[in-house]
Amino acid sequence: MNSQHEFVLRTVEERDIHFIRLWFTDILGGLKSVVISPSELEDAFEEGIGFDGSSVEGFSRISESDTIALPDPSTFQILPFDQDDPNLQSARMFCDIQQPDGQASLVDPRQILRRQVADAAADGFSVKASPEIEFFLLKELKETGKLKPTDNGGYFDQASQNTAPRFRSYAMLALEEMGISTEMSHHETAPGQQEIDLRHADLLTMADHIMTFRFVIKRVATNQGIRATFMPKPFEEHPGNGMHTHFSLFEGETNAFHDPDDEFALSTTAKQFIAGILEHATEMTAVTNQWVNSYKRLMFGNEAPGSATWGVSNRSALVRVPTYRLGKAESRRVEVRNIDALMNPYLGYAVILAAGLKGIREGYELGEPAEDDVHSLTRRERRAMGYKDLPTSLDQALRVFERSEFMADILGEHVFEFFLRSKWDEWHRYQAQITTSELHTNLDF
């Protein structure tokens, strides 16, 4: 029993917490939970909580179903929702998944990211990330039951009615109560679309924050009689939901991405990191954009990248180098823009970090930055300029992914194979549909 365990046990007793929610994620990024009483908490710290891993999709086979969830006391937070009813007061902790012999599970997404963070540490780097998370607020029409945006606002609009600003205020307060620092919030481009930016944190903590963020946003929306969605592109006529993420590497207290003598204040390390992401972008698109719907955002979304390019202040590029505060060393970062808001943050950040580190280790060369609106270029123009297009469908992404030894090595054989099978199943279900557009075009031809 260490000091963190003792702090949690003491807090649970002093704050009269009645339920402890132990959280973990499956391979696709679905949030899982088991609830224990405070009386079981000390044993859970010592031995973990056993559960049937074969019942969690992709975790284990029936013959190897015994699995252990070991709570991480550093992630303990009191949930800010049932304070009006003391009997329902709850707290949550994220868990690491283990095998019965105490070995880390090879299929736990949190462990996969932890391995990449450890690899970065072995190279002398700590990793920080700061995401800009987009989502839609929706309301149900009483007459039809259909969902529509809660407002008709646009980018940075100050709403004339109070639903969106009130929601964002409540959401930011709830996030801060759970130890998740926010930087800003605002209305995004599309009607009903919101964005909340999180303050930078180490990469594993940030992945935990994102899973918590999705839970909190949905819960706050439900409490206000509306609905929140992180679906990449829920509306044909509106932009989709991205999760642009800013990355930086630090060597001790020094930002390894900063070079005051470079035109864009970018160090060689930063350029190699960017080059690694661009080189492996097509291989990892199936992970960073894992849903059929993800490609409708990439293909038809606003400011969603379709090619593996980088640019300075260029929001059509996959990797953007912001030019705010060029002289401020701790602010030097690179922004990855293809990520959508429903990515499994553990797996997605693991493959992005691994690609960037590979670029550093192997000294990848970074080409010239894109200065055009890449989306406005024709396919022939992009090829002539040396730009490599990203996959345009989950089908294409999976064909590249399944040939990638690099992705298999990062994710591990079991996760790689399960992810591939699951995503091919999703694609085939999508293909089997007969859409309204097909009926309209072909039924009476």
Beta carbons within 8 Å of 277's beta carbon, 6+ residues apart: 318, 319, 336, 352, 355, 356, 359
- Pick the closest to residue 68 from 87, 94, 47, 50 (CA basis): 50
Tens-digit pLDDT profile for residues 244-292:
999 999 999 999 999 999 989 999 999 999 999 999 999 999 999 999 9
- Output the pLDDT for position 130: 97
Q: Pairing mode, if any, of strands 19-25 and 90-98?
A: parallel
Largest CA distance in the chain: 73
Q: When comparing pLDDT for 377 and 190, which is higher? A: 190
Q: Which of helix, strand or coil describes residue 445?
A: coil
Domains of the chain (ranges; CATH) run 3-105 (3.10.20.70), 115-436 (3.30.590.10)
pTM of the model: 0.94
Mean predicted lDDT score pLDDT of the chain:
91
Confidence band (pLDDT; 50, 70, 90) for 301?
A: low
β-strand partners of 90: 19
Say if residue 149's pLDDT is above 80.
Answer: yes
Residue bearing tokens 């260490």: 2
**Distance separating alpha carbons of residues 51 and 31, to the nearest angstrom:** 15
- Output the pLDDT for position 327: 73
Question: Are the C-beta atoms of residues 79 and 21 closer than 8 Å to each other?
Answer: yes
- Output the pLDDT for position 428: 97
Q: What is the DSSP-derived secondary structure letter of residue 87?
A: G
Tens-digit pLDDT profile for residues 193-251:
999 999 999 999 999 999 999 999 999 999 999 999 999 999 999 999 999 999 999 99
Q: Which of 9-23, 105-119, 288-302, 397-411 has the lowest mean pLDDT?
A: 288-302
Confidence band (pLDDT; 50, 70, 90) for 63?
A: very low
Tens-digit pLDDT profile for residues 339-397:
999 999 999 999 999 999 999 999 999 999 988 888 888 888 888 888 899 999 999 99
Amino acid at site 36: I
**Distance separating alpha carbons of residues 3 and 392, to the nearest angstrom:** 50
**Distance separating alpha carbons of residues 147 and 132, to the nearest angstrom:** 24
Within 13 Å of residue 384, how many CA atoms lie on the same side as its CB?
5
**Distance separating alpha carbons of residues 416 and 428, to the nearest angstrom:** 18
- Output the pLDDT for position 339: 97
Q: Which of helix, strand or coil describes residue 419?
A: helix
Say if residue 104's pLDDT is above 90.
Answer: no
**Distance separating alpha carbons of residues 4 and 182, to the nearest angstrom:** 25
Tens-digit pLDDT profile for residues 400-430:
999 999 999 999 999 999 999 999 999 999 9
Beta carbons within 8 Å of 400's beta carbon, 6+ residues apart: 282, 283, 285, 286, 391
Would you give the end-to-end CA distance of the chain in angstroms?
A: 73
Cα distances (angstroms) measured from residue 304 to each of 316, 337, 364: 6, 7, 25
Q: Pairing mode, if any, of strands 126-140 and 31-36?
A: unpaired
In this prediction, residues 19-48 reach a mean pLDDT of: 94
* H helix and E strand count, the chain: 14, 19
Q: When comparing pLDDT for 21 and 159, which is higher? A: 21
Tens-digit pLDDT profile for residues 76-94:
999 998 877 888 899 999 9
Q: Pairing mode, if any, of strands 201-202 and 227-229?
A: unpaired
Say if residue 60's pLDDT is above 60.
Answer: no
Would you tell me how many other CB atoms lie within 10 Å of the CB of residue 362?
11
- Pick the closest to residue 419 from 396, 392, 401, 393 (CA basis): 401
Residue 188's φ and ψ, nearest 5 degrees, are -90, -170
Residue 330's φ and ψ, nearest 5 degrees, are -70, -15
In this prediction, residues 2-30 reach a mean pLDDT of: 94
Q: Which of 216-220, 282-286, 321-325, 330-334 has the lowest mean pLDDT?
A: 321-325
Residue bearing tokens 């990469």: 203
Distance of CA 288 to the CA centre of its chain: 8
Say if residue 160's pLDDT is above 60.
Answer: no
In this prediction, residues 141-155 reach a mean pLDDT of: 84
**Distance separating alpha carbons of residues 393 and 414, to the nearest angstrom:** 24
- Pick the closest to residue 91 from 100, 101, 80 (CA basis): 80
**Distance separating alpha carbons of residues 209 and 75, to the nearest angstrom:** 10
Could you give the residue ranges of the DSSP H alpha helices within 341-402?
345-361, 379-384, 394-401
Say if residue 302's pLDDT is above 80.
Answer: no
β-strand partners of 142: none
- Output the pLDDT for position 65: 56
The C-alpha R_g of the chain, in whole angstroms, comes to: 22
- Output the pLDDT for position 62: 38
Beta carbons within 8 Å of 13's beta carbon, 6+ residues apart: 38
Share of the chain above pLDDT 70, in %: 95
